[in-house]
A and B are shown apart, each in its own frame.
Chain A
Amino acid sequence: MVATFFLLFVLFCRLFYIQIVWGKNLQTKASDQWTRDLNLTALRGDVVDRNGEILATSSTVFNVYVRPNAVKNKENTAKVLADVLGLNFDLILQKVTKKGVSEVLIARKIPTLVVNILKEKGLTGVYFAEESFREYPFGDFLTQVLGYVSVDGIGQTGLEAYYDKYLQGIDGTLLTQTDLVGKELDGVQYYLPSQKGLTVQLTIDSRIQMIVENVLDLAMYQYSPQKAECIVLDVTDGSILAMSSKPSFDLNNVPRDDLQKLATYSKNVLLTDIYEPGSTFKVVTAAASLEENFLGRGGFDENHVFHNNSRTRVVDGSKISCWSTHANGKHSNQKLSDALNNSCNPIFTDIALSLGKNTFYKYLEAFGFGSKTNVDFQGEQSGLLIDQSLVKNADLARIGFGQSVTVTPLQLCLATAAAVNGGILYQPKLLNSIVDQYSGVVLTNPSVMKNRAISEDTSKKLAQMLEGVVSNGSGKQAYVEGYKVGGKTGTAQKFENGSLAVGKYVSSFIGFFPSNSPKYLVLMLVDEPIGQNYGSVVAAPYAKMVIEGIIDVYDVAPQE
């Protein structure tokens, strides 16, 4: 008896240890086996344009699962599933009767409507797991900027990747109490709903973007170039209103099986690729000269007449020629405005050399060349500016008219904007704000002024001169009746593998309006057009189409 009591006491101590001391730990482990959980994928947030137009959205689709152990009537269940989902009965029956598995996937991406029909049938052991499915209502539109997501909904490129952390929602769970073999117990389910991701609102205006897409398609059709690219910028705050390059692809049908094509077509070349800007760069040289003169430190004023009418310059033994023959009095006794109108290379060589490398480089840097624009996008290039300590006069002379320097199209846009908007260099931006569907705006992206490049006075003069380029000069094809449009053409020979590529040009036009108070800037690039080369002929008409479109969309009143 004593022995029995003693042993009972010992066992009681053991019980105390198990139930009280060890209990919490054991209970935690035990609860793991009591439940099965289904992950509920959160809906990815929308991407919308500045007016709330949906550019990318996610809808709920369902993955249909079956837990064979919990299916009561296997034949009937398989029949209903096969009928409603339009699948093979034998295959489904095989899955429904599968042994030794807790759950089997029956079908993926089934829309809510079909799932509701299935739910009404009251099948046991059939489960639906939410998943988010990405859709791009405009298809082949803003392709490189938006980017695409992986099959499991993670941003891979573009803004889908850059703002992935906002777009990703928070996954939920459906906990089901089950017995050992996964058979569901009545009435005990825990539902933790998923939370949709935040809405990313862009500075893009889909109406302008649509015009740009169409114009670029037309350019691709008419000149069969390698690429056609365009940016529309609000020069007053650095907002990008439209940004596109062709060729591209439909975001709803990502060419995942052609990696080469995918990699090339999904690159946002407007900020990842660099090129020699050519004559469009003369705006910068002109700005530097006018500003230095304004400050009384050199340069040339707007009334200065360049008397050297020769077609060529020889700098350190290197010969530089104008595109024009200068015959019959062409390009003679030019003022700065004439030189811009004529796009006369020797004059800009003279200006660059007269400023000297220290002064000229100061302006190059002030206009943002050689450094990234810091746009909110992955993979931006900074362009190539020959190191100031290594630059020779021959290089400096060429930089004056946009050679021996490489830039990204976006860099050129911001620099030109600074030249005409009153002198301010902005940081470009694609994000307007982050919006929560319940609580509204949670984050705004204010515009960032980086620095002042030139004085307001100089900027005004320059804008006026560039208006002349469109009304009287090489930019005539971009002229819009009744509107003050300024701009500059560019025709740059392409470099390939370190040497000039014969017959390969990048034809461009950069324009802005209204030139008395600039607001919109358009850069049009046609890379290797076939048949024509000159920016004035190839690019300017397309820029005009975009400008007309902007006037139409924003209902801009004609200027005097």
Chain B
Amino acid sequence: MKKFAKISQNNEYLLLIVTILLVSIGLVFVYSASFYTAEVEAGNKYYYLIKQGVGALVGMVALVSASLIDVNLFKKFHLPLAIVSLIFLALVFVPGLGISKYGATRWIGFGGFSFQPSEICKFALVLVGAHSFGDEKVKKTFFKYAKVIFFGLAYCVLIILEPNMSVTVCVGLLLLALLFLGGMKIKTFLLFLLPFAIALPLLIVLEPYRMLRLMAFLDPWASPKNEGYQLIQSLYALGSGGLFGVGLFCGRQKYRFLPFAESDFVFSVIGEETGLFGCLFVFLLFALYVYCGVKIAVNAKDKFCSLLAGGITSVVAIQSLINFAVVTGSIPPTGLPLPFISYGGTSLVVFMTATGILLGISRKNNINNLDIL
């Protein structure tokens, strides 16, 4: 840690504080949101907190390690990582390995350990993008787009088969962000956008439950017991919070009224217990994270690092924005965890690793800057 303090000319010190704060808030509210259900269902009110705590510890080790590893190593291993991600995504469908919950198969597990491959592939895609568009050695225009688009679409197809609409949208948006950052011509970009514009409504119409959810978002009270239920409960939580909240651990919505209170809807619990001010604080932390990420990207020594930093920041920004929008009923409900805060070991470790990479890039910049001096 002292290493960071010494060389914190850039914003990596701030970024680290922001990350630790986000993870800590996550631990507090995962516990707050889950202690009742954990007690009732698992007989241990610390059940989710312990699992999340383990995730946070592993994540911290991963963060520190990733920040110390030379970024070029990631560049070298981008392809194996992308392919391994693809294989893991495919393994979800292998009987015995895949774990189904809530009508979707999104996890693979062996022994007592399980994780969600879709969480990793987001960053694998970022890496592929950064390599293709950022490495001077990759010359052929067609090839460098083709590789990114191939992996992007392949991930999307496998994730939508799980099915997991929200992560698909997230990966799709990320792909677009990468192509845009990679300097695709506006015309080509728009042409590329076209199939997405067609695919999204199509995907919604294909699965009846998505259509119902869409309608529910427009008027949740039309079907308060079914499609509208989740959103109504989220609004009840936020609405009960008011300006300052009902007090930490004092929320009522987590008593099984609000589904996924500790994961996708943890922000509702934050809103209920700490009010508008608590929400504002979380918003500010994410804004600071994005600010630091963008600054690291801009100051990066080469294009690969810049794109990698930009991509990681994009993932965090996209996913947190979607989560906020869902929780506040601004877009149709879809299950996407809030980075660093929502319950989920894979997500936490992966986001902390990515933050480690950001810190690594920043550190490298500083060393270079020091060299110049």
Contact = CB atoms under 8 A, between A and B. Distances in A.
Given A4-B290, A5-B287, A179-B36, A30 B253 contact: yes
A179 B283 contact: no
A30 B256 contact: no
Nearest to B36: A179
24 contacts: A1-B291, A4-B317, A4-B321, A5-B290, A8-B324, A11-B325, A12-B279, A12-B283, A14-B329, A18-B238, A19-B241, A19-B271, A23-B241, A23-B242, A26-B238, A27-B236, A27-B240, A27-B242, A30-B253, A33-B257, A178-B255, A179-B257, A180-B255, A180-B257
Name the 8 nearest CB pairs between A and B, nearest first: A26-B239, A30-B236, A180-B256, A179-B255, A1-B294, A23-B239, A4-B317, A27-B240
A191 to B, nearest CB: 19
Interface string A198-225: 0000000000000000000000000000
Nearest to A30: B236
Central interface residue in B240, B279, B287, by most chain A CB within 10 Å: B240
A23 B241 CA distance: 8
A256 interface: no
A33 B294 CA distance: 45
Contact of B256 (A19, A23, A181): A181
A34 interface: yes
Interface in B304-326: 317, 321, 324-325
Nearest to B238: A18
B176 interface: no
B32 to A, nearest CB: 15
A26 B330 CA distance: 16
Nearest to A19: B276
Central interface residue in A5, A8, A34, by most chain B CB within 10 Å: A8
Interface string A1-37: 1001101101110111011101111110111011000
Interface residues of A, number: 32
A181 to B, nearest CB: 7
Contacts of A50: none
A8 B240 contact: no
A335 interface: no
A26 B232 CA distance: 9
B325 A27 contact: no
Given A8-B321, A12-B280, A29-B236, A18 B287 contact: no
Interface in A14-66: 14-16, 18-20, 22-27, 29-31, 33-34
A183 interface: yes
Interface residues of B, number: 34
A181 B256 CA distance: 8
A442 interface: no
Contacts of A23: 238-242
Interface string A170-183: 00000001111101
A16 B330 CA distance: 13
Contacts of B291: 1
A33 B235 CA distance: 14
B330 A11 contact: yes
B321 A26 contact: no
Interface in A491-507: none
A179 B253 CA distance: 8
A114 interface: no
Given A8-B287, A12-B280, A180-B256, A30 B243 contact: no
A192 interface: no
Contacts of A30: 236-237, 239-240, 252-253, 257
Central interface residue in B243, B252, B257, by most chain A CB within 10 Å: B252
Given A18-B235, A19-B275, A8 B257 contact: no
Interface of A: 1, 4-5, 7-8, 10-12, 14-16, 18-20, 22-27, 29-31, 33-34, 177-181, 183, 185
B238 A183 contact: no
Contacts of A177: 252
Contacts of A180: 255-257
A15 B257 contact: no
Contacts of B255: 34, 178-180, 185
Contact of A11 (B253, B276, B328): B328
Nearest to B237: A30
Contacts of A181: 256
B123 interface: no
Contacts of A12: 279-280, 283
B186 interface: no
Given A15-B328, A180-B255, A180-B256, A1 B240 contact: no
B321 to A, nearest CB: 5
A7 B321 CA distance: 7
Given A4-B317, A29-B236, A11 B243 contact: no
A20 B283 contact: no
Given A11-B328, A34-B252, A179-B256, A4 B287 contact: yes
Contacts of B330: 10-11, 14
Interface in B298-354: 317, 321, 324-325, 328-330
Nearest to A180: B256
Nearest to A178: B255
Nearest to B271: A19
Nearest to B235: A26
B276 A20 contact: yes
Nearest to A11: B324
Given A19-B275, A23-B239, 15 more contacts: A8-B283, A8-B321, A12-B280, A15-B276, A19-B239, A19-B242, A19-B276, A20-B243, A26-B236, A26-B238, A27-B240, A30-B236, A179-B257, A180-B257, A183-B40
Central interface residue in B36, B239, B240, B253, by most chain A CB within 10 Å: B239
